[in-house]
C-alpha cells in the first residue's frame, strides 16, 4: 500500500543525504513531514548564515565587521521565533550565550576573507533543475566569481572540522550542488570551498566532470529507490549509533520496534536494513 502523502516536489542534497543515512528518516521528514524540534547547534548555524546572507547583500564597501555585528539583531528577529525559543527553552542567560557565540563566529570569519573583495553571482541562490530525471532544488550560500573568471561554490560550516580522510563524504552535498549549477547555468563551478567559520579554517576541492557524473548518477539511483519505497508504502529503517545519535525521530522508531542504539558502546546493534 502506497502512502497517502505525495513525494516531495523536489529533493535537496540534504534530503538525499537523509535518505542515504536512513530511509525511515526521509519518510518522517520528507513524506510525512513531521516537524523536527529546533536544536541549539542548528539554530546557531541558521543565525550565523542569516548574518552572512545579509552582509553579502550589501554593497561591497559596506561589508565591514561592524556592519556584520549590527546585522545580528535583525537576524535574531527572523531566526529566533517563538517556536524556536520554546524548543530550545531560551531564557536570558542562554540567549546571551547564543549571541556571544554567534558574535565570536562572525569575528573569526573576518580573519578568513575580506568580504569587501568578494564578487559573487548569487547569495542564497536557489537552483532548481531536473537532473537526469530527478527534480532537484538546492540553495547555495554563495556562488562566487573567482579572480581567474571561474565559479566557486562557497558553503559556510559552523561545526567542527572534519577528518580529511573522509573528504568524499564531506564534499558529497556540495558536489551535487555543482552538478545542479552546471545543469542550470550551463557552467560548471571549478572549486568548492567550505568555510569552517567557527574554526577559522577553509578546505576546498576541485570539481571534475567525473565527480559531476557520479553525483548525478547516485541521485538518480536514490530517486528511483525512493519512488519504489513510496509505492510499497514502507521506507526501511537502518539504525546505527552514528545515524541515530542525533536523529529527531529516534524515539518514534524505537516505539515502532526498531533497535535504536541508546548509548555509546551499545553492543549488537544491527546496521542492516530493518523492516520494523
Cα separation of 168 and 185, whole Å? 24
Domain assignments of the chain as residue spans, ordered by start:
1-32+119-235, 40-115
pTM, two decimals, is 0.90
The answer to whether residue 174 scores a pLDDT higher than 70 is yes
Cα separation of 13 and 175, whole Å? 9
What pLDDT, on a 0 to 100 scale, did the predictor assign at position 239?
93
pLDDT digits (tens, 9 = 90+) for 108-165: 999 999 999 999 999 999 999 999 899 999 999 999 999 999 999 999 999 999 988 8
What are phi and psi for residue 26, nearest 5 degrees? -60, -40
Q: 56: part of which helix (H) or strand (E)?
A: helix 40-56
The answer to whether residue 2 scores a pLDDT higher than 80 is no
Average pLDDT, the chain: 92
Strands, E assignment, the chain = 120-131, 134-145, 151-157, 191-196, 201-206
pLDDT digits (tens, 9 = 90+) for 255-273: 999 999 876 544 433 333 3
Sorting pLDDT into bands at 50, 70 and 90, what band is 250? Answer: very high
Sorting pLDDT into bands at 50, 70 and 90, what band is 1? Answer: low
Q: Tell which residue, 48, 196, 71, 62, has the closest CA to residue 116.
A: 62
CA distances to 10, 72, 150, 184, 211 from 207, rounded to whole Å, are 24, 33, 11, 16, 7
Cα separation of 50 and 183, whole Å? 27
Amino acid at each position: 500500500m502506497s502512502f497517502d502523502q505525495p513525494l516531495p516536489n523536489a529533493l535537496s542534497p540534504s534530503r538525499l543525504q537523509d535518505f542515504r543515512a536512513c530511509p525511515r528518516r526521509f519518510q518522517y521528514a520528507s513524506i510525512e513531514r513531521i516537524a523536527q524540534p529546533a536544536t541549539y547547534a542548528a539554530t546557531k548555524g541558521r543565525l550565523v548564515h542569516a548574518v552572512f546572507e545579509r552582509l553579502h547583500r550589501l554593497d561591497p564597501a559596506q561589508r565591514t565587521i561592524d556592519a556584520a555585528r549590527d546585522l545580528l539583531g535583525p537576524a535574531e528577529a527572523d531566526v529566533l521565533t517563538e517556536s524556536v525559543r520554546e524548543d530550545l527553552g531560551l531564557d536570558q542567560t542562554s540567549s546571551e550565550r547564543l549571541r556571544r557565540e554567534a558574535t565570536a563566529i562572525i569575528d573569526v570569519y573576518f580573519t578568513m576573507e575580506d568580504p569587501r573583495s568578494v564578487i559573487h553571482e548569487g547569495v542564497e541562490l536557489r537552483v532548481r533543475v531536473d537532473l537526469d530525471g530527478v527534480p532537484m532544488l538546492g540553495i547555495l550560500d554563495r556562488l562566487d566569481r573567482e579572480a581567474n573568471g571561474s565559479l566557486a561554490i562557497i558553503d559556510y560550516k559552523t561545526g567542527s572540522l572534519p577528518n580529511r580522510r573522509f573528504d568524499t563524504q564531506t564534499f558529497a552535498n556540495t558536489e551535487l550542488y555543482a552538478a545542479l549549477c552546471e545543469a542550470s547555468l550551463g557552467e560548471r563551478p571549478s572549486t568548492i570551498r567550505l568555510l569552517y567559520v567557527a574554526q577559522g579554517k577553509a578546505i576546498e576541492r576541485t570539481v571534475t566532470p567525473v565527480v559531476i557524473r557520479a553525483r548525478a548518477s547516485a541521485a538518480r539511483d536514490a530517486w528511483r529507490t525512493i519512488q519504489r519505497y513510496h509505492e510499497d508504502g514502507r521506507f526501511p529503517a537502518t539504525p546505527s549509533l552514528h545515524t541515530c545519535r542525533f536523529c529527531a525521530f529516534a524515539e518514534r522508531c524505537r516505539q515502532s520496534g526498531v533497535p535504536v542504539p541508546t548509548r555509546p558502546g551499545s553492543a549488537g546493534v544491527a546496521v542492516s536494513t530493518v523492516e520494523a
